Amino acid sequence: DGGITQSPKYLFRKEGQNVTLSCEQNLNHDAMYWYRQDPGQGLRLIYYSQIVNDFQKGDIAEGYSVSREKKESFPLTVTSAQKNPTAFYLCASSADRGRDNEQFFGPGTRLTVL
């Protein structure tokens, strides 16, 4: 079955540690996205990538880094520079087909910083 997978589902980290969240898709989509969702808030864009080896900052990129070495994979690293990393992280992908590009979401990773 085609889809997007994220791992792990739950992640606990000590303050000051970097952590990498995995996102893989087998939909053959060109574009991939990382969002953060906090309680009672909408999704906010962290980074996005429209093509392999290229990515752009979203609205809240500070304290995060990404790579896009393969079309299928778009890992997100939450660095120790991110002040409030505890959140629900969602990865999404979309095909490059003009208008109405639905974004498909993975199941998310809940990160808690202890």
Partner 1 sequence: RKEVEQDPGPFNVPEGATVAFNCTYSNSASQSFFWYRQDCRKEPKLLMSVYSSGNEDGRFTAQLNRASQYISLLIRDSKLSDSATYLCVVTLLNTGNQFYFGTGTSLTVIP
Radius of gyration of the chain (CA): 13
Q: Does 48 bind partner 1 (CB under 8 A)?
A: yes
Q: Interacting stretch for partner 1, rule CB under 8 A, among 16-24, 67-75, 79-87, 94-102?
A: 94-102
Candidate residues 68, 74, 106, 113; the one interacting with partner 1 per rule CB under 8 A:
106
- Residue 3 in the binding site for partner 1 (CB under 8 A): no
Nearest distance from C-beta of residue 80 to partner 1, angstroms: 27
Q: Are strands 31-37 and 19-25 parallel, antiparallel or unpaired?
A: unpaired
Contact region with partner 1 (CB under 8 A), list: 19-27, 44-52, 60-68, 78-86: 44-52
Question: DSSP of the chain, one letter per residue?
Answer: ---EEEE-SEEEE-TT--EEEEEEE-S--SEEEEEEE-TT--EEEEEEEEETTEEEE-TT-TTEEE--SBTTB--EEE-TT-S---EEEEEEEE---SS--PPEE---EEEEE-
- Indicate the residue among 16 and 42 with the shorter CB distance to partner 1: 42
- Give the residue, chosen from 13, 22, 27, 45, that forms a contact with partner 1 under the rule CB under 8 A: 45
Token couple for 16: 């000051």
Which residue ranges make up the site for partner 1 (CB under 8 A)? 31, 33, 35, 40-45, 48, 50, 56, 58, 88, 90, 92, 94, 96, 99-108
